[in-house]
Chains A and B, each alone.
Chain A
Amino acid sequence: MIDPVSASRIQFALTTIVHIVFPVVSMGLAPFLIYFTWKEIRTGEAIYEQLRRFWTRIFAVSFVVGTVTGIVLEFEFGTNFAAFSTAAGELFGGPLAVEGMMAFMLEATFLGVFVFGRERVGNALYMVSAVAVGLGTWLSAVWILIANSWMQTPRGFELVTENGQPIVTLVDPIAAYANPRFPWMFVHMQNAAVESVALFMAGLGAYFVFRHYVWEYPVENVRFWEATLKFGLLALLITAPLQVVHGDLYARHVFVTQPQKFAAMEAVWETSSYVPEYVVAFPTSLGDLLDPRAKEIFGIGIPGGASWLASGGDPQATIQGLEEFEGPQPPVALVFWAFRLMVALGFWFVLLAVWGGYRWWRGELREDDLLQKALMLSAPLGIVAVELGWIVTEVGRQPWVIQDVLKTADGVSSGLTAAEATTTLVGFAVVYLALLALYAYVVARIVRAGPPAVTDARDRTVTAVTEASADD
């Protein structure tokens, strides 16, 4: 049996790690679906209908699995983190309720029209439903991140004691909900979602293009996959550089507002200036494995790099060390490595975008085998980077569930028994991993089935038009 606190933490971590995959796909696909629908209605070209229908199938499956995994998360606050829910309900419940009413409702109702209604409703309402679904997915992120950003940099509240329990009461809603962390989280998250989908599209397109031209294994819809590859690359060219730029600004904000998290990201134990940025770092003794920068390390560091990044240009800047903070520390190694891997992936995506963009510009997109292989292998890495980013965000602020206000361990339901918590943990581990496998299987089937055959509104011969539109 695992103790209720640990079991609840593992369970919440597991359910969020699995759940986040599906909203990322929904949010990332939304702008593409709006664009494809608009072009389909405007031009009547078959390729856009194929793109819209193919990616809508993936969107619909992601939405279903996202819904069933997301409902669990909402209720886990009540079941496993009752003390947190009681203490913070005044500030935290509101955004969740508004998310349901404002965003989730919009998305779920119009998704019905968008998925099932092409033959039932006119073009105008169909376009409205595409925009409404997209808007719904993005507004969901707004409200969830408003709630989360308040936990990272809480303000606008007072702490009072009611019946011996600490209760957070709302005093200034604007300070609380227009939280300084929110814009950084939102921009970084939304851009990451689009970037992840762009990588997936580019990788998937590259696979079929490669199969067709290099393996000479004829692919029926190679024009469709070339279009997919190009849309993916185009979106990657826009999102990948942006992600690095505001990622850096976001890290500076963390340095100012959550110094303990920043120290964990850089594994700085003693307060010092001119802190190097370690690219890799290993302890020599296995006993120090949880501390990547323990004494006698092997490491490659850029002198003054961490200070330079934290302060935005001053290599002499002082970084507070973890030793300055009382009580337990976040698991430093996990945060340190998750951060490094995420940043490395971010730069890799920029390289891929530039490389692919250059080949495309030169008209050599089909010819570069190495690029195709790199794109294929990178298809799932956007999602991996998102997961790593959330590990930095959520594990990095431990032991706090609300930074400097409430510890995670104090937020767990008091009546919960080890048996109950362990039962549901094991149950959810099995169910969620099965869901993930099932999702991968279904997406693979949709991909194998390929785009649906459509007849063009303007030209009965589908292939002629798709070829023409993919060449321009």
Chain B
Amino acid sequence: MTDPATLAGEPLFGLPLPDVWFGLLFFIFATFLFLDGFDFGVGALFAGREDEADRERLLAAIGPFWDGNEVWLVVFGGAMFAAFPSVYANLFSRHYLLMFAILGALILRGLAPEMYEQRHDETWQRWWGRAFVVGSVTAPFFLGLFVANWLLGATTIVTLPGVVVGLAVVALTVVDGVAFLRVKTRGELRENLRSTGYRALAAYLALIVATLGYVYVAVPALRPRLFAAPVAALVLATLALAGVYAAATRADRYYVAFGAAAGLVFALVGVVAGLLYPVVDPVTGLTVEDAIVSTLPLNLMTVAAAVLLPLVVVYFVVLYSAFSGPIEPGETY
């Protein structure tokens, strides 16, 4: 145990901890959006599957994973509360109704698969199936809207760029979900998903181009950051990753396509972080340095995260390797 007196003085190891935590926060968010993203995508794809066996396979594919995936959102909330408490408070109280819309969608999304499996009569499963689809589509839509409003400093709930970003995030989760299901399923289902993946990817790229165009035209303050090296590189990386995704999907290189989908999510979140930095909340104008907690709790949190996050990676490796490969016949939710 390090002595608290020394922890109160300087940032640990002389690291630029406010920046590190800003980066970590977006890394945690991107991890959430990638991992729970394929759960959302599977939920959206559930709508297009009428065959009962297909639907069971979709649910079985995410069954062991979604709980753990969603915890990344809880960790994101906790980390923001701990590192930037005033941003946490301002941002969430300002987007009050939107936050509750996200939470409502997540309640529906989380509950529906569990409920779907509880009874095997048609009416029950039809309604919980719909709830699963609605929750899975609205959760990423509202999340996209929230992030766009955050980035652009909007104080109203519905904004045009917010809606476009919301739709882009929905399309991205479908790309992600297709990539995941192509790893986890076999046969006809896997083949059928390929074209859905292409269409979702095309929609995603179109919506992102529209968003970046909007930012360029309507938000002059962000224009220089759009062309700064990190953001420009990530935009180019998105194009490259889209190419990799399409080629790998065509060639049935399932894991490569899945990796490309992950890259697309991380690139998107990276662009948001790059456009914001060094500001954490454009409405209040608070920068990373203004909003960070004082040194002692920051150092403590850093030690905790440095110990715990690698452990979390170990848990996920255990979980994903226990359930690796396509789902076996007979595996149910």
Contacts and interface: CB of A to CB of B under 8 A. Distances in A.
Interface of A: 60-61, 63-65, 67-72, 74-75, 77-83, 85-86, 88-94, 96-102, 104-106, 108-113, 115-117, 120-121, 125, 132, 169-174, 413, 415-416, 420, 423-424, 427-428, 431, 435, 438, 442, 445
Query: Which of B7, B67, B305 neighbours the largest number of chain A CB atoms within 10 Å of its CB?
Result: B67
A273 B78 CA distance: 46
B8 A97 contact: no
A442 B118 contact: yes
Interface centre among A93, A125, A171, A431 (most CB of B within 10 A): A93
B318 interface: yes
Given A80-B93, A111-B67, A172-B4, A445 B103 contact: no
Contacts of A91: 297
A82 B309 CA distance: 27
B298 to A, nearest CB: 9
B81 A97 contact: yes
A413 B93 contact: yes
Contacts of B81: 74, 77-78, 85, 89, 92-93, 96-97
A430 to B, nearest CB: 11
B64 A117 contact: yes
Most central of B79, B99, B315 by chain A CB within 10 Å: B315
Nearest to A99: B78
Nearest to B99: A79
Contact of A82 (B68, B92, B318): B92
Given A67-B70, A78-B92, A431-B104, A98 B308 contact: yes
Nearest to A449: B118
Interface in B100-136: 100, 103-104, 106-107, 110-111, 114-115, 118-119
A73 to B, nearest CB: 10
Contacts of B65: 112
Given A82-B92, A116-B64, A169-B294, 9 more contacts: A64-B114, A71-B77, A78-B91, A89-B81, A89-B85, A97-B78, A100-B77, A113-B64, A423-B97
Nearest to A83: B89
17 contacts: A64-B67, A65-B111, A67-B110, A74-B77, A82-B93, A89-B82, A89-B85, A93-B82, A97-B75, A100-B71, A101-B312, A105-B71, A108-B67, A108-B71, A109-B68, A112-B67, A427-B100
A101 B75 contact: yes
A423 to B, nearest CB: 7
Given A71-B106, A424-B100, A438 B78 contact: no
Nearest to A122: B322
Given A71-B106, A75-B103, A78-B91, A85 B96 contact: no
Given A105-B68, A115-B64, A68 B106 contact: yes
B52 to A, nearest CB: 20
B97 A85 contact: no
A431 B101 CA distance: 12
Nearest to A88: B85
B238 to A, nearest CB: 29
Contacts of B293: 89-90, 93
Contacts of B331: 116
Contacts of A63: 67
B158 to A, nearest CB: 15
B127 to A, nearest CB: 12
B12 interface: no
Given A61-B114, A78-B99, A112 B319 contact: yes
A467 B90 CA distance: 61
Contacts of A71: 70, 73-74, 77, 103, 106
A418 B83 CA distance: 30
Contacts of A72: 103, 107
Contacts of A61: 114
Interface string B285-327: 0000000011011001100110011011001101100110000
A110 B71 CA distance: 12
Contacts of A108: 67-68, 70-71
B94 interface: yes
Contact of A86 (B82, B86, B297, B319): B86
Contacts of A82: 89-90, 92-93
B260 to A, nearest CB: 25
B92 to A, nearest CB: 3
B63 interface: yes
B4 A416 contact: no
B82 A96 contact: yes
B322 A120 contact: yes
B71 A89 contact: no
A105 B32 CA distance: 12
A79 B104 contact: no
A67 B67 contact: yes
Contacts of A132: 315
A116 B63 contact: yes
A140 to B, nearest CB: 11
A90 B82 CA distance: 6
B57 to A, nearest CB: 14
B312 to A, nearest CB: 5
Interface centre among B73, B74, B80, B316 (most CB of A within 10 A): B74
